[in-house]
Amino acid sequence: MPETEEKIIPAESQPLQLFAAWLADAEKSEPNDPNAMALATTTVAGAPSVRMVLLKGFDDAGFVFYTNAESRKGQELAANPQAALLFHWKSLRRQIRVEGAVTPVSEAESDQYFTSRARLSRLGAWASAQSRVMASRPEFLLKIAAVTAKYVGRDVPRPEYWSGWRVRPDAIEFWQDMPFRLHDRVRYQRSGESWTHDRLYP
């Protein structure tokens, strides 16, 4: 079966440049949240834990997301600062896996992003004891109402426990769907400040 050259992953590309190109394609085709990614962490006991979050920035230093540091994922990252990410773009039949160490972003970065959020999202960060048990949904809504009243006519500051994390990739794997499940896979691995790559069997 012949393969169309345009579908073959160009292994000679730099992985972050290729990621940027694939994300741009996803922004044109995905109906919702093309920057959504699965974030996998581990519990203290080593059990896997995964959830969807949103990518809020990336560059040569890594992939950035934000959350409540007191949430389950925040506590797991504090105990074991390693993570895996998965981007899956169904409309393009593509996925990208990222693995690496995690470090907090600077307070200035966290402040800048928090300020850019919608006001209700900022109020929600104060009202939500993320990942902890609540008695009922009305309890949460009452907390939002209380926080809203507290900050009437005032800017909503960033809570100290709300911050960002950066995943510095040690490995990035690109996967492209091909007919008859003869998929194309290229894995990049960090080597100092450069990258090596291999093409993998599907």
Q: Which of 117, 181, 185, 199 is catalytic?
A: 181
pLDDT of residue 46: 92
**What sign for the dihedral angle of Cα 82, 78, 61, 119?**
positive
DSSP conformation letters of 69-103: TTSHHHHHHHHS-EEEEEEEETTTTEEEEEEEEEE
pLDDT of residue 6: 54
pLDDT of residue 3: 46
pLDDT of residue 192: 87
Domain boundaries, the chain: 5-117+160-200
pLDDT of residue 4: 45
Per-residue pLDDT of the chain (202 residues; tens, 9 = 90+): 344 445 778 877 799 999 999 999 999 999 999 999 999 999 989 999 999 999 999 999 999 999 999 999 999 999 999 999 999 999 999 999 999 999 999 999 999 999 999 999 999 999 998 989 999 999 999 999 999 999 999 999 999 999 999 999 999 999 999 999 999 999 999 998 899 999 999 9
CA 2 to chain centre: 35
The CATH number of domain 5-117+160-200 is 2.30.110.10: yes
pLDDT of residue 70: 94
* Catalytic site includes residue 181: yes
For residues 78 and 72, what is the distance between their CA atoms, to the nearest angstrom? 10
pLDDT of residue 8: 78
